[in-house]
Amino acid sequence: MDPVDLALCLAIDVSASVDYDEFGLMIGGTAAAFRDPGIAAACAGGPRGAVAVAVLFWSGAWPSMRPPSGGPEVAVPWMRIDGAAAAAALAEAIDNAPGCRCRARPRLGEGMAAGLGQLARCPAPASRLVLDVSGDGKHNQGRLPGPVRDIGVAAGVTLNGLAVLNEEPDLLDHYRAEVIGGPGCFAMDCPDYAAFAQAIREKLAREIGGLLLSRADRLSPEAY
């Protein structure tokens, strides 16, 4: 894959707290964001004219946090987005992604680690690395998110969060304390899944349009 301005992994919570309708709103909203002409233009607007995007579904069912590339938790493998046609193809892939309906409690830290691993396996050299984490629950069990965040930051990754507050009204504070990190990092919230589409579009516009530098050479798949 040719070099890109940004490698962006969208790590989406599909744990037991997310019901079928909420899953549909979340996935449909993410797909709709990439059909937005402004997002498509932003993807092609950098010096290299493209970004790379992968979509990861996470919950709490993984026996290991060193998943092989292309494993079942990868909803959409890496795609190079260089304009409206490629963005529309990504949106279609997101809409058609197989639902990972693991009825498990959220293991936020392990989901973050899997997202960092996917960034390490991105086939395109990237000027920036961003992990976009979205969900409606705090860390519940398994690997702690804070130390995982610190590994990512040390490797030059920016971690951002979108907290859906329908289950836990104070979730944004948890994301700010334990999830986000790196240059220019930020956390957003939305009140429920009905508001997810607008929130993820705003978040993607901010992430794709950023001007942050990363150290891609320090990100190794073996770290996760």
pLDDT at residue 16 in the model: 65
- For the chain, what is the domain count? 1
Residue type, 202: E
- Do the domain assignments include residue 201? yes
- Do the domain assignments include residue 62? yes
pLDDT at residue 82 in the model: 97
- Do the domain assignments include residue 18? yes
Q: Could you give the CA distance from residue 120 to residue 9 in angstroms, rounded to a whole number? A: 10
- Do the domain assignments include residue 100? yes
pLDDT at residue 68 in the model: 38
pLDDT at residue 69 in the model: 37
What pTM, to 2 d.p., does this model score?
0.86
Average of per-residue pLDDT across 149-155:
96
- Do the domain assignments include residue 187? yes
pLDDT at residue 63 in the model: 36
Q: pLDDT tens for residues 51-92?
A: 999 999 877 544 333 343 333 378 999 999 999 999 999 999
- Do the domain assignments include residue 136? yes
Q: Could you give the CA distance from residue 2 to residue 78 in angstroms, rounded to a whole number? A: 12
- What range defines the domain where residue 126 resides? 4-212
- Do the domain assignments include residue 220? no
Q: pLDDT tens for residues 154-211?
A: 999 999 999 999 889 999 999 999 999 999 999 999 999 999 999 999 999 999 986 3
- Do the domain assignments include residue 90? yes
Q: Could you give the CA distance from residue 1 to residue 73 in angstroms, rounded to a whole number? A: 22
Q: Could you give the CA distance from residue 44 to residue 41 in angstroms, rounded to a whole number? A: 5
Extract the tokens encoding 139.
């860390």
Q: pLDDT tens for residues 6-27?
A: 999 999 988 766 777 888 898 9
Contact 171, 164 (CB under 8 A): yes
pLDDT at 215 over 80: no
14: CATH: 3.40.50.410
Q: pLDDT tens for residues 87-122?
A: 999 999 999 987 655 545 557 888 899 999 999 999
